Amino acid sequence: MNILKRGMVFITFFGCCFAIALMAAAMSTKFWLEAEAIQRRINPDNRIEVRPNSTGHVNFGLFKGRKSLNVGFGTRLHPFDGE
């Protein structure tokens, strides 16, 4: 086997091992994406106002997620599944 083919097999093997490690890490993490939710409002004079009493936090995972939103009446927790 020439040196180029041997090198390509070597690089491909370690690339596959790296991909499998990333897949295992992705499957084992609970949340993949985390986001903060804020509500903005445009005033009549075209200025953006952030409403401090309207906030939230959203987590998305592979199979399930959770959102915690407060629109001014208290925090509401909504879990959701990927079904």
- pTM here is 0.56
Query: For residue 78, is pLDDT > 80?
Result: yes
Q: If residue 64 lies in a helix (H) or strand (E), which one and from where to where?
A: strand 64-70
Query: For residue 72, is pLDDT > 80?
Result: no
What tens digit of pLDDT does each residue of 17-33 get?
999 999 998 888 888 88
Of 39, 78, 40, whose CA–CA distance to 60 is shortest?
A: 78
First to last CA, the chain: 50
Amino acid at 80: F
Q: What is the pLDDT of residue 82?
A: 63
SS3 for 15? helix
Q: Are 41 and 52 in contact (CB under 8 A)?
A: no
The domain ranges of the chain are: 1-29, 31-83
For 1, the token pair is: 């086997």
